[in-house]
Amino acid sequence: MTAPRIGVDVGGTFTDVALALDGRLVTAKVPSTDDQSEGVMAGIEKACAEAGIDPEAIDEFSHAMTVSVNALLEDDGAKTALVTTEGFRDVLEIGRQARPSLYDLDAEKPTPLVPRRRRFEVSERATADGIETPADEEEVRSVAEAIRRADVESVAVSLLHAYAHPENERRVADLLRAELDVPVSASHEVLAEFREYERTSTTAVDAYVRPAIDRYVSHLTERARDLDVPHPRIMQANGGITDADTVRRNAVTTVLSGPAAGVVGASTMADASDADADRQEGLVTFDMGGTSSDVSLVRDGEAARTTEGVINDRPIKTPMVDVETVGAGGGSIAWVDAGGALRIGPRSAGADPGPACYGKGGTEPTVTDANLVLGYIGGDTSLGGELSLDADAAHDALESLADDAGLDGALEAARGVYRIANANMTRAIRSVTVERGYDPRRFGLVAFGGAGPMHAIAIADGLDISRVVIPRASGVLSAYGLLAADEKRDAVRTHQRRLSAVDSDDVDAVYASLAEELLDEVSDRDAASVRYAADLRYAGQSFELTAEIDRPFDATAAGERFASAHESAYGYRADEPVELVNCRATAIVPRDAPSLEYDDGGGGLSRSREAVFDGGTYEAPVYDRDGLPPAESVGGPSIIEGPESTVVVPPAWTVRVRPDGALVAEVIDE
C-alpha cells in the first residue's frame, strides 16, 4: 500500500478534498465553514471514511486556503502600523501617477490599509549607494512606544532604498520586535526590490494578513494534530508548496493559494498524451467555482507566472500564477441594474444560505438556479453527494428575476443568466489570450471546478476553441493540484545595470547569493534545483519583462532572450540599450504527482431529462461519468454527471473518454 496523500482546498462555497492511495483517487466535498479549519477536518474525515482508512494513516497533508484574500476583499485584516522614512509617510496614499479613471474627477481612491494616524516616521536615510544617516535607536524606541499606545496587531517597516541597503531597516525591525509583542514585516524580507510604492504596499499587505494567517495555520495545525494528521503544507501563489512556518513569516505569498493549486492540477492532469495535443500552443485553464471563475494559461507545460497583481485595488508584487478572476460562479447572484439590464455577480450567495435551490433560506436567483431550471442539473441531483436541490425554489427565484427584467418567465430568465455568465467568462479568457497576442483557437481549454464543466463547452464554442479537456475529479481539481505541486521558493534582488556595462561576475555573485539563500530554506537541498531569471527593459521604459537566463550570466544571451520576449508580447524589437533591473531565482524540490488508475464501474447511460440549448428543448440522455469506459464516445446534446461536477455537452459536440478517465470534448466535423 502506497502512503496516502491528501489535499484540501477551501473555496467560497465548498471545501474540496482529494485523497490518493494505491492508484485510487477518492474525492469529497463538504460545505465551507466560517472557521475554515472545521470544514477542512470534516472533509478529511469524509474522504478517509470513503477510502476505508483512518486519518492517522495519511502520510502527507497539503492545503490551499482563502484566508488572506478574504481579509483583503472584505477589509477585515489586522489593525496595522507602518514605519517609514521621514518624509515618506504618505506613499501608500500617493501611489503612482497612473489612475484607473483618469478623467473622472469624482473617482475615489481605495482606502489605504494603514490610515495616516498609524503611519510613523524615523529620521534615517539610505540611498541606492549606501547609508547616509543611520537609524537612531532612541527614536525607534519612541516610535515603538507610540505604536504600543495605538494598540496595533502588526507592524510593517518599509524604509527608503532598503532593497539595496537594508542595514537601517533591519535594525529598526529588530528593535520593534524586541519592544513589541506583535509580528513585524520588513520590506527587505518581504520584497527586496525597487519601487517604493509597490514595495511598501506589498509589505503592508503582508502585515495586514499575517495575524490572520498565523491564527489560522496554528489552529489548523492543532486540529490536524488532534486528528493525527501530519502538519499541513501550504500552497503559495507561485504554484509551489511550502511548510506552515514559512507562510507564517511570508503571509503575502498565500494570496492566490487556491487558484494556483487549480492551475497546477489542470496542467498536470491535462498533459496526458493525446494524438492531437501537439497541434495546440498551450492550454487555457478555466476554473469555475461557487463564487468566481479563474482563468490562466499553460504553455510548454508551465503555468504562466507574473510578479505583480492587484487585489481589491492593492498592488502586490510577489511571484504568482498569472490568474484572471471574474465574479461569475455558481453562487453568483443575478440582478437587474438601473437601466433594466440583466447582470451577474460579483455578489455571491456563498455557502450559507447559498443559491435558492439549496433550500437553506436563499431567495435570490443565482447561476446554479439557472442551470437547474435549464435542466443541466437535475432536481434529483445531490451536490457534493449530500446536498439535495429544491427545483421549485430555483424556479420561483428565476420567475421573480424575469418579472424584474421584463422577460417571459423563469426559463427565459435562466437562458439569459446562463448566456451572460458565459459572456463574462469569455471576456476573461480573451484577456489572457487575445489581449496578450495569443489566438485562443490554437489553445485547448481545460475545465474544472464545481461548475466549470457545465459551462466550458459552450464558452469554447463561442471562442472557436475546438477542444475541451475535463480531467477526472474536475470538481475538486484544485485539491488534486495540491498533491502534484512541487515545493517552490522565490527570491529577488534589484541590480540595475546597462547590459553593455554589466560585470558578469558581479551578476553571478548576486545569483549565487540568491541560490544559497533559497537552498538553505528548502526541505531537501540535495534534491533541489535552481532556476534563474532576469527582469529587463529597454532604456527609458517604465516596465520590465522577465526572461529566463543561464549561469554563468551572459549579457548578450540575456539581451536576446529579452528581445524575443518583447517581440512576443508587443510585436516588435527596438534598437535601444537594454537594462538589467532585477535578478530572480526559484528553488524547486520536485514532487511526483500520484499515479492514478482509471477503472470504470460499468454502466454509463442512466436516464434522461429535458434540457434547453440554443436550438431548443431536448430530451437529453444523462450518463454516469464513472461508468463510462475508456474510448467510449458520447454525442451531444447530452449530460454527463459525476460526483463533484456535471458536464453539459451541447449539440454538434462529442465527448470521448481517455484511458486516464479524462473527458475530451471536440466539435463534430461537418
- Cα gap 506→386, rounded to integer Å: 61
Cβ pair 370, 334 in contact under 8 A: yes
- Cα gap 382→258, rounded to integer Å: 24
CB atoms within 10 A of CB 35: 13
Cβ pair 320, 339 in contact under 8 A: no
- Cα gap 213→244, rounded to integer Å: 10
Cβ pair 607, 629 in contact under 8 A: no
- pLDDT, residue 659, reads 86
Mean pLDDT of residues grouped by 10 in the chain (670 residues)?
Answer: 87 86 88 89 94 93 91 89 96 82 78 94 93 95 96 97 96 97 96 94 96 94 94 94 93 91 86 50 88 86 86 88 86 90 85 84 92 88 65 93 91 94 93 88 90 94 93 88 94 94 94 96 95 95 92 95 90 93 96 81 75 88 89 90 88 91 84
Of 387, 428, 416, which Cα lies nearest the Cα of 292?
Answer: 428
Q: Which residues pair with 439 in a beta bridge?
A: none
Joined together, the cell numbers standing for residue 73 give 476583499
- pLDDT, residue 95, reads 86
- Cα gap 434→432, rounded to integer Å: 7
Residue 367's alpha-carbon distances to 331, 383, 392, 638, in angstroms, are: 6, 14, 15, 20
- Cα gap 253→320, rounded to integer Å: 8
- Cα gap 107→68, rounded to integer Å: 27
- Compute the radius of gyration of the chain from its Cα atoms: 26
Cβ pair 562, 547 in contact under 8 A: yes
- pLDDT, residue 382, reads 58
Which ranges of 250-336 would DSSP assign to H, the alpha helix? Answer: 257-269
List CB contacts of 27: < 8 A, sequence separation 6 or more: 16, 17, 18, 19, 47, 473, 475, 476, 479, 643, 644
Cβ pair 297, 311 in contact under 8 A: no
The dihedrals phi and psi of 47, each to the nearest 5 degrees, come to -65, -40
Cβ pair 378, 22 in contact under 8 A: no
- Cα gap 524→484, rounded to integer Å: 17
- pLDDT, residue 296, reads 92
Joined together, the cell numbers standing for residue 216 give 489560522
Which ranges of 227-249 would DSSP assign to H, the alpha helix? Answer: 244-249
Cα distance from N-terminal residue to C-terminal residue, the chain: 49
Of 472, 477, 453, 465, which Cα lies nearest the Cα of 429?
Answer: 465
Q: DSSP 3-state assignment of 363?
A: coil
Cβ pair 623, 641 in contact under 8 A: yes
Cβ pair 111, 118 in contact under 8 A: no
- pLDDT, residue 324, reads 87
Cβ pair 337, 572 in contact under 8 A: no
Domains of the chain, first to last: 1-232 (no CATH), 487-589 (3.30.1490)
Place of cell 453568483: 332
Distance of CA 298 to the CA centre of its chain: 14
Q: Which residues pair with 545 in a beta bridge?
A: 536
- Cα gap 401→404, rounded to integer Å: 5
- Cα gap 326→346, rounded to integer Å: 8
- Cα gap 667→647, rounded to integer Å: 15
- pLDDT, residue 660, reads 84
- pLDDT, residue 275, reads 39
Q: What is the pLDDT of residues 541-556, one digit of tens each?
A: 989 999 999 999 999 9
Please state whether beta strands 616-624 and 638-641 pair in parallel, antiparallel, or not at all (unpaired). parallel
Q: Which helix (H) or strand (E) holds 623?
A: strand 616-624
Give the CA dihedral 594, 599, 603, 608, nearest 10 degrees.
20
